[in-house]
């Protein structure tokens, strides 16, 4: 599967990051080459591998493109009416989003305002309007889109959870640690993948799966900006299956339940996107 043929941002756009000491020139050259050869985009490499602050990257690109930088803010929502005739999957793949219309002026958030092909697509989608661009990082555009459409993808996680809850009511006779629930069950497989993708979209640094004893529900917590909060809960009857599924995704030994283990999970945040990697580890923290 090929990447969307987007115009690449000129490497010189990132030169201020070198001058301001955020990255060495050799590392920037290496990151550009890696993004061209692999599945990970340059933005992701600079932020995740080279620890460039989002604000610094956004400011740098804003100056290069001579347009305002708009970081994600939950108080800012795009006008849902502007998305009526647009494919959400298309917007995710092509990294742009109409924010608001004022008269005949349309504000559009995009990761590369110099991409002529996408510019033509935008003009065809909104004929007769003057397009005014704002610079947005890809991960922020994704979050704006999710917030605007009510996180359609998380609707699928709600459907999966609803399916599990309904099944749990039918299987109440099972002990929570019985082998009646299998880690290869399709709903468990979907749930594990959806949890990881949702954590990525929320920019969580950690996912905590806390399988409490007895018949308490299993809590799924995300750590975002240092704060750990409950994202969802699943029936206790599925706790072992979910933990085993995560172990399988991390290439860990599902039969080992006492010793800590450490592995790596590879996933895709969206269809057609590059592979992402997350660390997966298990530990008994009840005594901590």
Question: 286 φ, ψ to 5°?
Answer: -65, -25
Contact criterion met (CB below 8 Å) for 9 and 112: yes
Q: What is the pLDDT of residues 147-187, one digit of tens each?
A: 887 644 444 565 666 666 665 555 554 444 444 567 878 77
Per-residue pLDDT, 109 = 98
Distances (CA, A) of 186 to 123, 200, 278: 42, 22, 22
Is 90 exceeded by the pLDDT of residue 80?
no
Beta bridge partners of 23: none
What digits encode the pLDDT tens for the residues 5-26?
A: 455 788 899 999 999 999 999 9
Query: DSSP states of 187-204 as a string?
Result: HHHHHHHHHHHHHHHTT-
Cα-Cα end-to-end distance for the chain: 45
pTM: 0.54
Q: What is the pLDDT of residue 165?
A: 61
């Amino acid at each position: 599967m090929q990447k969307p043929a987007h115009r690449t941002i000129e490497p010189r756009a990132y030169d201020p990051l070198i001058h301001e000491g955020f990255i060495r020139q050799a590392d920037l050259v290496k990151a550009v080459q890696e993004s061209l050869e692999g599945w990970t985009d340059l933005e992701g490499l600079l932020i995740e591998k080279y620890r460039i602050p989002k604000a610094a990257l956004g400011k740098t690109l804003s100056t290069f493109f001579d347009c305002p930088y708009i970081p994600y803010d939950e108080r800012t929502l795009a006008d849902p009416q502007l998305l009526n005739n647009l494919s959400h999957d298309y917007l995710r793949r092509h990294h742009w989003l109409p924010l608001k219309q004022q008269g005949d002026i349309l504000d559009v958030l995009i990761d590369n305002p110099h991409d002529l092909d996408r510019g033509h697509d935008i003009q065809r989608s909104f004929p007769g309007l003057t397009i005014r661009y704002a610079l947005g990082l890809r991960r922020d555009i994704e979050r704006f889109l999710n917030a605007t459409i009510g996180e359609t993808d998380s609707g699928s996680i709600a459907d999966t959870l609803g399916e599990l809850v309904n099944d749990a009511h039918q299987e109440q006779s099972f002990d929570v640690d019985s082998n009646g629930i299998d880690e290869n069950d399709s709903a468990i497989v979907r749930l594990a993948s959806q949890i990881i993708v949702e954590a990525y979209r929320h920019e969580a640094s950690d996912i905590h799966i806390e399988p409490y004893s007895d018949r308490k529900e299993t809590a799924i917590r995300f750590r975002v900006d240092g704060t750990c909060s409950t994202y969802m809960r699943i029936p206790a009857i599925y706790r072992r299956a979910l933990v085993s599924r995560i172990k399988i995704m991390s290439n860990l030994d599902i039969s080992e339940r006492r010793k800590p283990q450490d592995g790596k999970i590879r996933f895709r945040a969206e269809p057609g996107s590059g592979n992402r990697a997350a660390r997966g580890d298990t530990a008994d923290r009840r005594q901590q």
